Structure 1
């Protein structure tokens, strides 16, 4: 592959956020590149050849044409350099072997101005959150040592993984730390936030959270008794046995269980150690005059052009080191702009075909989703399936129904009794709808759901229903049983 093709493929598979970072690095490393600000004059010249006009695509929205990256070729013609830049480099050569890449412009580790924390910072971990509370609590040095050890033994869910006896054995015998001292410090930690932290099992976790509720909470005493003595019956959903043991009526038991269900069985999950991931849509789909329009998100990627002032400094016959450097920077800038334009055009073609194929989803929702595979889009746009796979990975579409990754619109199919096809996404939506409308006392089994789907003409095996149900995060019927 030529270096141009390598760069185009690399930019094609980048997400919008990664592409923004790549563009920023290119702007910082290449003086020939600059942002196209609003209101600046620019023409529509092909960035790879002076004087050639860009080809317009008649089936693309006008907003896409306006968001395409641009360059100012007139400034190049007015300058001293009129040499035509070759459009290709030798095959199987690397881009880094010919031109300086933006990655090489990154500062080294010994650069004092490089902000390491801005590139490596993450959210607060559960251990650091607990240690912060431990440092605020007044205690002796020995108790603080015990507390630090206990916190190290708490997993991400908030549970103490080691037994107290094992923790005592881990200390130096010369310290003379005994089991009751460790237990006292553990009780201190169990009063930290989030509620339920440091528990040794689910029963203790629920009891710790119930103890921190206001004393006037309805059914608090009964909920504490249920968590302490009858948690196994609740797990097996043996409601009749629970009502007999606790001597409560069905409506009272329902309120007690609702209080239990308000608790968090994984209290440590409230402290998120990883940074949040942001999604920026690449394309926007909207309906106008009964037509679905596809537009590039103009705010996601800045428009670029070649700086005409610096480009005018390049001299045709000058072979000095400075002129060679500037000529290489100009070539790299123009190829970078061309790669961005190619990325935008490919993304628009694929997104337009997806919208054309999935109009039913945009109009009526998931149940109207049609089967779609990569080969269908590749055949429609005249590209290889691998290219379609790159385009649809980490690229997002903003629709009136929400923001979806382009891969979301692809799904396999299941045959119907009438000889048609139904997508797996539509079947999942139907299963979700059936479960939401079921009787909580008598939830639908997988076999029953398969029968209901067959009644609608959709032929799905019970094991397929189970697979789709699990992918939706829906528990089996035995675990969905609830009191009214």
Structure 2
């Protein structure tokens, strides 16, 4: 374990502060980036908003400004500028919708990220956390193996488990669980309800199969005690991802807009509400001042460097996201040609290889981001899927197989539902080569119970 920890530290040290900043900015949604920009403007006095009117005036009055005496500047105000800084939103009709966006409920990902910021974890752990959060499904579960995150980011599996434990301690309770058993366990106060906790921890299979007499015997409890504990368990939310405020006025603001003009797809960032930033020319001029003492010069130099890095990171994020979306359109030609959600197999590595960038960069740029298409809004990561081969040698997206499994179960005889092996046989008759464990995995991911439990539920 110590060796793995040293290896992780060595890998982390290879990243420069500028690269770490780029990675952090890349994984932010537009709404979170807006918040980050506001914070940077408050913290860094050398970073300022570009005002088109001021830009014109500045060009006209540049000669006059150069003639101002350096001695007129109050150097004592340098450290207090950030405290006096006031932000003003651009006054433009085109950005009116943004104010509605600020009042809408935050996404589950946003809420988890806010809590992580509050507990002040390290940059390294934050990178891992964002990767984990991006892989939490709509129900609030984290169902992929931690080692996949470790391999993707080049960190130790121990660190991934450590960050995962931190996320599981956050609200909503049960978030990032690997399965229903863990989700329920995380939400039960085991000191207050020890029997309910023991039922889930030690008799879970008997509980979901309703073998209540066996539970009573094993835990040495009465039927009344068991019934009371079951009532407690029933109150637990099995889908912590659904615990967000819902309503007609809740909507998603896409990060990217895609529209068709003539015969071409036009891709643009939905960033009209974001401030355009620059490094203050006034502070830049101070660096050439002979009257500037070394401490002040060092302060300004550090702040201007940070401001430039921040501006470059935003530009890098925008450029990368547009390039990724462009490649997605090329690789999902059938979907964009026919304008229906029918995917071709495509994984993160396909995009990374095409653009000659890291897989982790594609992951950060995709997770939690949404794109507005002419026929709806979609999460970008939903364009990615593994391939499954057919007996005829053709490769299809695993989403096709998932949808077919769902259709088979929806239309089955409820008094005699198909088991996983029966579904495998049906798929084989339709040219799909799928293992029984794969069917079981896809069924579980879709929240569909085993055949025995589907029959029991129907019989009730």
TM-score by length of 1: 0.51
Pair 1:457-2:431 in alignment: yes
Could you report, residue by residue, the CA deviation over 1:312-355 in whole angstroms, capped at 9, with x for unpaired residues?
55435455233443343333222321121111101111122123
The CA deviation at 1:430 is 1.9
Instruction: Say which SS state the counterpart of residue 457 (structure 1) adopts.
Output: coil
Aligned-partner Cα distance in 1 for 2:441–2:281: 59
* Equivalent of 1:375 in 349, 355, 363: 349
Compared CA separation, residues 477 and 78, structure 1 to 2 (3 A): farther
Could you report, residue by residue, the CA deviation over 1:369-414 in whole angstroms, capped at 9, with x for unpaired residues?
1111222112221223333233233433344565544333222211
Instruction: Say which SS state the counterpart of residue 269 (structure 1) adopts.
Output: coil
Match of 2:256?
283
Aligned-partner Cα distance in 2 for 1:202–1:283: 51
TM-score by length of 2: 0.53
Contact 1:36/1:303 (CA < 8 Å) preserved in 2?
yes
Pair 1:296-2:269 in alignment: yes
Match of 1:322?
296
Could you report, residue by residue, the CA deviation over 1:226-262 in whole angstroms, capped at 9, with x for unpaired residues?
xxxxxxxxxxxxxxxxxxxxxxxxxxxxxxxxxxxxx
Aligned residues: 302
Pair 1:19-2:19 in alignment: no
The CA deviation at 1:280 is 5.2
Instruction: Say which SS state the counterpart of residue 325 (structure 1) adopts.
Output: helix
Contact 1:157/1:267 (CA < 8 Å) preserved in 2?
no
Match of 2:447?
473
Where does the alignment leave 5 or more consecutive residues of structure 2 unmatched? 1-14, 68-81, 86-114, 120-169, 174-184, 197-223, 246-250
Superposed CA RMSD in Å reads 4.6
Aligned-partner Cα distance in 1 for 2:320–2:189: 47
**Higher RCO (CA 8 Å, separation ≥ 6 residues):** 1
Compared CA separation, residues 365 and 448, structure 1 to 2 (3 A): farther
Pair 1:161-2:193 in alignment: yes
Compared CA separation, residues 430 and 272, structure 1 to 2 (3 A): closer
Instruction: Say which SS state the counterpart of residue 396 (structure 2) adopts.
Output: strand
Compared CA separation, residues 76 and 318, structure 1 to 2 (3 A): farther
Equivalent positions of 1:31-430 (< 5 A) are 31-36=45-50, 40=53, 156=187, 161-162=193-194, 200-202=225-227, 266-269=234-237, 276=244, 281-289=254-262, 291-299=264-272, 301-320=274-293, 321-361=295-335, 363=338, 365-366=340-341, 368-399=342-373, 403-430=377-404
Compared CA separation, residues 314 and 74, structure 1 to 2 (3 A): farther
The CA deviation at 1:26 is 1.1
Instruction: Say which SS state the counterpart of residue 317 (structure 2) adopts.
Output: helix
Compared CA separation, residues 75 and 406, structure 1 to 2 (3 A): farther
Instruction: Say which SS state the counterpart of residue 414 (structure 1) adopts.
Output: strand
The CA deviation at 1:27 is 0.4
Compared CA separation, residues 463 and 2, structure 1 to 2 (3 A): closer
The CA deviation at 1:162 is 4.7
* Rg larger in structure: 1
The CA deviation at 1:426 is 2.0
Aligned-partner Cα distance in 2 for 1:304–1:456: 56
Aligned-partner Cα distance in 1 for 2:186–2:385: 37
The CA deviation at 1:428 is 0.9
Compared CA separation, residues 451 and 401, structure 1 to 2 (3 A): farther
Aligned-partner Cα distance in 2 for 1:459–1:270: 32
Contact 2:195/2:229 (CA < 8 Å) preserved in 1?
no
Aligned-partner Cα distance in 2 for 1:427–1:388: 25
Range with greater deviation from structure 2 (379-388 or 322-331): 322-331
Contact 2:25/2:317 (CA < 8 Å) preserved in 1?
yes
Could you report, residue by residue, the CA deviation over 1:128-147 in whole angstroms, capped at 9, with x for unpaired residues?
xxxxxxxxxxxxxxxxxxxx
| More helix per residue | 2
Contact 2:22/2:316 (CA < 8 Å) preserved in 1?
yes
Match of 1:57?
none
Contact 1:124/1:271 (CA < 8 Å) preserved in 2?
no
Compared CA separation, residues 342 and 158, structure 1 to 2 (3 A): closer
Contact 2:286/2:292 (CA < 8 Å) preserved in 1?
no
Instruction: Say which SS state the counterpart of residue 475 (structure 1) adopts.
Output: coil
Aligned-partner Cα distance in 1 for 2:411–2:193: 40
Contact 2:348/2:384 (CA < 8 Å) preserved in 1?
yes
Where does the alignment leave 5 or more consecutive residues of structure 1 unmatched? 44-71, 82-101, 106-115, 126-153, 165-198, 207-263
Contact 2:193/2:229 (CA < 8 Å) preserved in 1?
no
Contact 1:285/1:295 (CA < 8 Å) preserved in 2?
yes
Aligned-partner Cα distance in 2 for 1:273–1:377: 29
